[in-house]
């Protein structure tokens, strides 16, 4: 019997200022709490990796909050990724030095796509993730948007993902803005379109509400990994803040079906 490839399940945590928040469709951020306290809980739950995205950094044109990120990296036992406000190889070098293993590029991948190429050459493809935020248009066409969902790019997600793969991105994170925070399931059509067009792993993001959604993203969407936010930080219909993570056996069960 062949061994099942382990599917990574990644909490995606949104930083704004010095605290974690969670959005719905990239709007109405809800305060979650102090990053160090939240990450300590995830440490205990032995998650595969964590992705931290600073949602305030690119819109305000600020760089990464290095003092806070240094503290976060020193507290975290699992592999860490970071995205938000990155504009140079020097910033990436500092982030890798303090303990981050992956850098997620989004807005800068549009403004200076050559930086993706340079980053892949300098740090290795496996260290570079390109995060693609996608919105559905009036006629169900998909468009890539940047600067935390505030700027249209006119780019098609499939074509953009292909270009980023050619430039050296080791992974593509596909985030559906329309599904963000809704907990109604991933956009499987969007995932299929992108995952069938590239050879690098695709991380599904935006819409997970239950463990079965992870299985659908992998089996029906072609994703290689799954990321989620609301599902791990809210509890019940009133969305009370409670940090949780499914048992490994439960996750493996949904992928084994």
For 63-118, write each residue's pLDDT tens digit: 899 999 999 999 998 999 999 999 999 999 999 999 999 999 999 999 999 999 99
Instruction: Report the DSSP pairing between strands 80-83 and 50-54.
Output: parallel
Is the predicted pLDDT of residue 227 greater than 70, yes or no? yes
Q: How far is CA 97 from the centre of its chain?
A: 21
C-alpha span between 241 and 73 (Å, rounded): 23
Mean pLDDT of the chain: 94
C-alpha span between 54 and 36 (Å, rounded): 15
C-alpha span between 125 and 1 (Å, rounded): 31
C-alpha pair distances (Å), 14 with each of 18, 87, 116? 10, 19, 22
Is the predicted pLDDT of residue 234 greater than 90, yes or no? yes
13: three-class secondary structure by DSSP: strand
Q: Would you state the pLDDT for residue 255? A: 82
Of these residues, 28, 34, 133, 156, which one is catalytic? 133
Domain ranges of the chain: 8-256
Is the predicted pLDDT of residue 232 greater than 80, yes or no? yes
Q: Would you state the pLDDT for residue 60? A: 76
Phi, psi of 76 (to 5 degrees): -95, 135
Could you tell me which residue, 70 or 253, shows the higher pLDDT?
70
Instruction: Round to the nearest angstrom and report the end-to-end CA distance of the chain.
Output: 15
Q: Would you state the pLDDT for residue 81? A: 98
When pLDDT is averaged across residues 172-199 and rounded to a whole number, the result is 97
Report whether CATH 3.20.20.70 matches the domain 8-256. Answer: yes
- Model confidence over 28-46: pLDDT tens digits? 999 999 999 999 999 999 8
C-alpha span between 52 and 72 (Å, rounded): 10
54 is catalytic: no
CB neighbourhood size of 219 (10 A): 13
Whole-structure pTM value: 0.95
List CB contacts of 28: < 8 A, sequence separation 6 or more.
Answer: none
Rg, C-alpha atoms of the chain? 17
Phi, psi of 201 (to 5 degrees): -60, 140
When pLDDT is averaged across residues 38-66 and rounded to a whole number, the result is 90
- Model confidence over 129-179: pLDDT tens digits? 999 999 998 888 999 999 998 899 999 999 999 999 999 999 999 999 999
C-alpha span between 35 and 146 (Å, rounded): 25
């Amino acid at each position: 019997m062949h061994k099942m490839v382990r599917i990574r399940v990644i909490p995606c945590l949104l930083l704004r200022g010095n605290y974690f928040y969670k959005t719905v469709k990239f709007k109405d951020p809800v305060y979650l709490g102090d990053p160090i306290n939240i990450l300590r809980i995830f440490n205990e739950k032995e998650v595969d990796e964590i992705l931290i995205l600073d949602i305030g950094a690119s819109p305000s044109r600020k760089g990464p909050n290095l003092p806070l990120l240094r503290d976060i990296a020193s507290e975290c036992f699992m592999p860490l990724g970071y995205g938000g406000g990155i504009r140079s190889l020097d910033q990436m070098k500092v982030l890798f030095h303090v303990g981050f293993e992956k850098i997620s590029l989004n807005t800068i991948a549009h403004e200076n796509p050559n930086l993706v190429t340079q980053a892949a050459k300098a740090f290795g493809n496996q260290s570079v993730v390109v995060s693609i935020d996608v919105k559905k248009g009036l006629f169900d066409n998909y468009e890539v948007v940047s600067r935390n969902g505030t700027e249209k790019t006119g780019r098609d997600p499939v074509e953009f993902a292909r270009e980023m793969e050619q430039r050296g991105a080791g992974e593509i994170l596909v985030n559906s803005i329309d599904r963000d925070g809704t907990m109604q399931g991933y956009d499987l059509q969007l995932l299929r379109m992108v995952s069938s067009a590239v050879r690098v792993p695709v991380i599904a993001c935006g819409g997970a509400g239950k463990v079965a959604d992870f299985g659908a993203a992998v089996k029906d969407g072609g994703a290689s990994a799954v990321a989620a936010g609301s599902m791990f930080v809210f509890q019940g219909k009133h969305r009370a803040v409670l940090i949780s993570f499914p048992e490994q056996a439960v996750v493996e069960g949904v992928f084994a079906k």
